[in-house]
Amino acid sequence: MNYLKIFVSFLFFVLLVTLGLSFFLSTNQKVERTVIINASAPVIYNHLIKLENFNKFSVWSQQDSTAVYTLSGKDGTVGSSTSWKGSPEISGEGKIEIVALEPNNKVTHTLQFSQPKKGKAESVFLLNETNKETTSVTWTFKMATPRPWNIFNLFYSLDKQMGKDFEDGLTALKNMIELNIPDSINTPNR
């Protein structure tokens, strides 16, 4: 009986420390990468607002050849979205939606993951034209981890886990635009 009291007290102590610590830790994780593209902001912006173009530079669409994508709404406008369903081990299921557009400056998406794990995230592309032929593109991805699960952020870094994917995606975007791969990028949306 005495061992049971000690064990229950220990569990209670661990739970209390975990809950207490979770209030001192951030509930948000962020990945942010930047690339310089030799093109004007309008050309890049027009490419980024089209969800159909996302799969052309996203490394995740190339990792899961079984994924099926379904576009809803008028592509390139606020409210348009793409849903995907792929291998549960690779891409799972989810939806990306355009929630805000600032012409030639910013594209904001929300992501909803439904399988294998539920979650929400925000993805932002920020364009900063340094001159008429060069633009800095920063891709930021933010995801919240609710308390007390944010305690695991001590052991898991979204930036370390996924940073390379964002770098590779931005490099692919840069190559597509600079090599002028045919798609909708040739008609800037001003």
pLDDT score of 67 more than 50: yes
Residues 179-188: tens digit of each pLDDT? 985 444 444 4
Beta bridge partners of 140: 32, 124
Confidence tier at 7 by pLDDT (50, 70, 90): confident
Residue 19 inside a domain? The answer is: no
Among 38-42, 140-144, 173-177, 185-189, whose mean pLDDT is lowest? 185-189
Is the residue at 166 inside a domain? yes
Of the two residues 148 and 103, the one the predictor is more confident about is 103
**Confidence (pLDDT) at 163:** 87
Confirm whether 52 is domain-assigned.
yes
Number of H helices, E strands in the chain: 5, 7
Residues 6+ apart with CB under 8 A from 99: 78, 108, 109, 110
Beta bridge partners of 94: 84, 113
> pLDDT tens, 124-134?
999 999 988 89
How does pLDDT run across 15-54, given as a tens digit for each residue? Answer: 777 766 667 766 678 899 999 999 999 999 999 999 999 8
CA atoms of 18 and 110, how far apart (whole Å): 30
Chain segment 72-83, per-residue pLDDT in tens: 999 999 999 999
**Residue 77 placed within a domain:** yes
Judge contact between 56 and 62, C-beta under 8 A: no
Domain of residue 70 covers: 27-186
pTM above 0.85, yes or no: no
- Per-residue model confidence (pLDDT) at position 118: 85
> In total, how many domains does the chain have?
1
Q: What is the CATH number of the domain that holds 61?
A: 3.30.530.20
Minimum mean pLDDT range among 20-34, 53-67, 156-170? 20-34
